[in-house]
Chain A
């Protein structure tokens, strides 16, 4: 028999860091799956971009870790196993909109992994949440080029921020109605960052992750709780209903940040009172940025701020917990109450914003652009199909609109959705002014126009010009 020396204890709990990370991955994938489903409802190109975003981010993350392993002369596979490179890019992807360009997510992931994680010495050594670092850099440096296409639909967060986080009751309910009511707000049925919209789903995943011992529920509970209670008081003062606090914690990725980013244990204090104070302060920072700052987005920056003061919080509670329990309870509850009070003071003292009905357009990727979307309803075009792609259009011009005179009339030939020829058969507007718009040169400019073209009207003869374009729009719509 050979005796081996081994210090006690011998038994080990079956839960390993690797298992914790896999469970977290599972939770994130649930949110990601829903995000992909939502992207699919926007169109298959969004679904593909949503998938590619993760692929690019993961490849960049693994590549960074591999280079780091080579530079520090460590085994690459060993680093892959112990550094959990798959988490940061997934979180980062979930914090950006689905139409983000692949270039931006690639650069963002690189910066997140290198400057958020590896420069500190890799997994377990980082001061800041790496994904939050990446997101903050994207938000501040790539704000103009984040989007892949021209969709610049206002998100609920930017709408709230622009209207003023605190608005009068009527404004708030207009806004809520515009976003499809409380149900849509809770389930994230609107366009925003991929992972942050479905608050209900995130909270369910959060509960499961707490049950499976992955995250400490005290962190999201305190963070969202402080925000919720503060917003409730503001709602009572401002005459708003319970919808206000619910909307308040459902927007801007608050739930996503609370469940998946604030809970990153590496950047938390170790003690439970520390974690609660940490979360309460994060809520306070989020609100301060929302109410007083220029940025619409408070969550990411508040996470980075509390990450920074986490060691200080840890020091405050660095003692024998049982001996200092009274002191710890007092500090913890005092922080929560003071945070809520400050929130209420800020919330009730900021200038109330207003919001007008129906200024919001819900994101619709199938919405028409170009000529098809232009509004020429005032011209009241009437189309008669003459066959063989030829259309006769009567449309109101200057005289018809201004003093009830006769309409202008056009014959338009359309082939394959494009204008082949335009001819003015009846011209009722002012000669010498309006006829510039129906000159041969002007009309030949319109040949080849289709419904997606951007067509400008001519200045100087606006009414007549509008009547021509309205006629073309009507004929093209009739022809399709």
Chain B
């Protein structure tokens, strides 16, 4: 099939070695600004200025289509609720909490491995477990199905520079195992694959050892290509099955490894996961490292802890350099789904005319036709955009990466998607 479609993937230089072996720096803060906007979720505050909160106290929730709770990552006093720029580039409500030194917890219940499928799903909802790979889809909705045959734990981390997931797994092997077992039970699947890029040889060995008693759980090394971590590409790699909208159509649930650790750690300790590991990397940071910080820490603290920038003019990307969003303020704070802050030098590429070579078509993981989409967009041809399935684009950035003429293909397609969405409304 690849003969007629194309590889639909490509190796991208990972640059993971610059952070992978480094120690994890712990970053303290005396104040956090917890964003009430996480990915597509926009929550409303449930606390008021002056309230005292503990770690794990509910401070906001989304309650319309989904229920998504947001918890405090520090104990202290709510000093303000104000609009700030969030990682989604829109001003959104942030709950600003001044941290005290008590670190008091509001405990959740622990969860044993004997829990039933329903209990685990309810627990996921209570602790507000999200897909921590970047999309932030609530896990309790994903697992509410009885069609799942295969659970895929996604530890692929296909974006360049990011090593947060693999470091998190290495640091929290027991929590990871516990989380995977709970997810396996919640999914009711007969088989579970833990997918990780094959070059992480040592980690894969540790994982094989970790799961050696579990018959259902198989460690699956995958190729070092992008976007292997996208659930569609990963499902095809593992099961050789394609689906229309959701992996469950192929009988699969795909969950991020960090989500499994969050679930495992909360279930074991009964405490909210108030910290997360974030990769601070890129070609414009002095000491690239993985850092561990409270949810709500501004990225300025992370950049400072990693020795600041090399060149003054800097591009800051929240998330991976392929799919992340560029932010223009360093007061943006870490959310549960932030896995990296990447800082780059300004770069210039010489742009040539489009060759119409079709490399973007061959490599598009959604097998779309970026060249034709751009042409249709230029002519405002809505019907053509729909025919070309532009809404199936996940903005993975492959077309821009692969383009030999260095055209900003992905950006044009983003605009085409917006145009189509606006016209449909």
Contacts and interface: CB of A to CB of B under 8 A. Distances in A.
Contact of B4 (A7, A269, A332): A332
A9 B397 contact: yes
Contacts of B368: 320-321
A85 to B, nearest CB: 13
Contacts of B10: 13
A11 B12 contact: yes
Nearest to A19: B404
A320 B356 contact: no
A393 to B, nearest CB: 71
B387 interface: yes
A265 B362 CA distance: 13
B321 A271 contact: no
Contacts of B151: none
A383 to B, nearest CB: 69
Contacts of B242: 322
Contacts of B6: 272, 321
A6 B13 contact: no
A9 B409 CA distance: 10
A124 B353 contact: yes
Contacts of B314: 1-4
Contacts of B328: 3-5
A3 B284 CA distance: 12
Contacts of B346: 4, 6
Nearest to A3: B328
Interface string A210-222: 0000001010000
B369 A318 contact: yes
B406 A12 contact: yes
B279 interface: no
A10 interface: yes
Interface in B1-44: 1, 3-6, 10, 12-13
Contacts of B382: none
Nearest to B342: A10
B88 interface: no
B68 to A, nearest CB: 25
B3 A6 contact: no
A304 to B, nearest CB: 17
A325 B6 CA distance: 11
A115 interface: no
Interface in B307-358: 308-309, 312-317, 321-330, 342, 344, 346-347, 349-350, 352-358
B317 A4 contact: no
A1 B315 contact: no
Given A318-B387, A320-B392, A2 B313 contact: yes
A335 B358 CA distance: 21
Interface residues of B, number: 67
B206 interface: no
B312 to A, nearest CB: 6
B372 A7 contact: no
Given A9-B400, A265-B358, A318-B369, A17 B410 contact: no
Contacts of A16: 350, 352, 404-406
Contacts of B188: none
A320 B404 contact: no
Contact of A17 (B1, B352, B397, B408): B352
A124 B356 contact: yes
Interface in A1-49: 1-13, 15-20
Among A3, A10, A269, A329, find the residue whose CB has the most chain B CB atoms closer than 10 A.
A10
Given A2-B313, A9-B400, A11-B12, A318 B323 contact: no
Contacts of A253: none
Interface string A73-100: 0000000011000000000000000000
A318 B375 CA distance: 12
Given A8-B317, A11-B13, A325-B1, A18 B358 contact: no
Interface in A219-275: 265-266, 268-273, 275
Centre residue among B315, B325, B346, B411 by max chain A CB count within 10 A: B315
B410 A8 contact: yes
A201 to B, nearest CB: 25
A6 B322 CA distance: 12
Contact of B5 (A11, A123, A268, A325): A325
B358 A1 contact: no
B356 A270 contact: yes
Given A3-B329, A18-B352, A124-B354, A10 B402 contact: no
B418 interface: no
B389 interface: yes
Nearest to B360: A270
B367 interface: yes
Interface of B: 1, 3-6, 10, 12-13, 160, 242, 303, 308-309, 312-317, 321-330, 342, 344, 346-347, 349-350, 352-358, 361-362, 366-369, 371-372, 387-389, 392, 397-398, 400-406, 408, 410-411, 414
Given A17-B406, A268-B358, 19 more contacts: A1-B308, A2-B312, A3-B315, A3-B327, A7-B410, A7-B414, A8-B321, A11-B12, A12-B403, A124-B352, A266-B356, A268-B357, A270-B358, A270-B361, A270-B371, A319-B387, A322-B367, A323-B389, A325-B4
Instruction: List the 3 closest pairs (A to B, CB-CB), nearest first.
Output: A9-B397, A124-B353, A270-B358
29 contacts: A2-B314, A4-B314, A5-B326, A6-B346, A6-B347, A7-B410, A7-B414, A8-B323, A8-B324, A8-B397, A9-B322, A12-B401, A13-B403, A13-B404, A16-B406, A17-B404, A20-B355, A20-B357, A82-B350, A123-B352, A218-B3, A268-B357, A269-B358, A270-B356, A272-B4, A276-B4, A320-B392, A322-B242, A325-B4
